[in-house]
Amino acid sequence: MRNIAIILTLLSFTLSGCFWQDEEKRPPISGGMSPKMMFDEAKNEMSAATIDSAIALFEKLAAAYPASKYSKQAKLEIAYALYDNEQYDLAISRLNKYIKLYPDDLSSTPYAYYLRGVISEDKSRSLLDEIMTDNAQRDVDSVRDAFNYYLALIKRFPETEYANEAKDRLPILRNILVRHEFYVAIFYTKNKSPIAAINRCKFIVEKYPNSPSIPEALHLMAHNYDILGTEQLAIDARRVLDKNYPQYKPKYSLDD
């Protein structure tokens, strides 16, 4: 038994020696570069618009120097690089992981919250929005996500500059969501579903009382009451419209 124990001990030392030799032969992940050198090189790749190379370098940096301050920054840079490359969902996924890793880091986590909102806003945009289209007419899930991301930022880090930026964005996003509801009401009206259209208009009036879309919602609501033959309800809707928005003229169309 003693001989077996000695053999096992010797074998252990022999194997350990092999492992040590393998470690000595294996090149370091960093390639001998300091974390700052790796970070600077990755930033240069970003500036040169070679996004994939930049991401690969940031990944190596995070793996080679996990405790370095550059490792934290590299994680955020990866998310931003993915966003810059229009890989929006991947970028948001990285930011969610970052927030879980560093939930209380005042120096960087508020930015991660804010960037999630910015990315979600950009997902819903089109180059033609400034000229002839309205993103409220498209799917607004990403707009709703942006709104909720900004709300989470304001709640979690209310005293930061990013929270102030988010507060400025909320009314804009809210109005997009309201306009979307109004476009849905128009859709129901055109498709001869007046009750569904009225319910959408009521939702706008009750949920978003200060929205610029309120007069249009009241006007469309009255129109659909006319279709149903509910004269008094139509009169009531128009009375509210005339009292609160006496200069209102319809800007929407029910023509195809």
Of 169, 181, 172, nearest to 207 by C-alpha is 181
pLDDT at 214: 96
Q: Give per-residue pLDDT as tens, 92-141.
A: 999 999 999 999 999 999 999 999 999 999 987 754 455 456 777 777 89
pLDDT at 34: 84
Is residue 54 over pLDDT 60?
A: yes
Q: Give per-residue pLDDT as tens, 72-96.
A: 999 999 999 999 999 999 999 999 9
| Per-position DSSP letters for 64-86, written without gaps between them | H-TTSHHHHHHHHHHHHHHHHTT
Structure-token pair, residue 3: 């001989």
Measured CA to CA, the distance from residue 209 to residue 228 in angstroms comes to 25
Long-range contacts, stretch 45-53, CB < 8 angstroms, 24+ apart: 46/77, 46/81, 46/84, 51/81, 51/84, 51/85
Q: Give per-residue pLDDT as tens, 14-50.
A: 334 443 333 334 344 556 678 888 888 989 988 888 8
Structure-token pair, residue 201: 């208009």
Measured CA to CA, the distance from residue 82 to residue 90 in angstroms comes to 7
Long-range contacts, stretch 227-235, CB < 8 angstroms, 24+ apart: 227/189, 227/194, 228/194, 228/195, 228/198
Of 77, 9, 82, 93, nearest to 52 by C-alpha is 82
Rg (CA), the chain: 29
Which one is predicted more confidently, 47 or 164? 164
Is residue 219 over pLDDT 50?
A: yes
pLDDT at 13: 35
pLDDT at 81: 93
Is residue 152 over pLDDT 70?
A: yes
For range 141-157, the mean pLDDT: 96
pLDDT at 75: 95
Measured CA to CA, the distance from residue 211 to residue 178 in angstroms comes to 7
Domains of the chain, residue spans:
33-82
Is residue 179 over pLDDT 50?
A: yes
Of 92, 83, 102, nearest to 156 by C-alpha is 102
pLDDT at 50: 87
DSSP state of 137: G
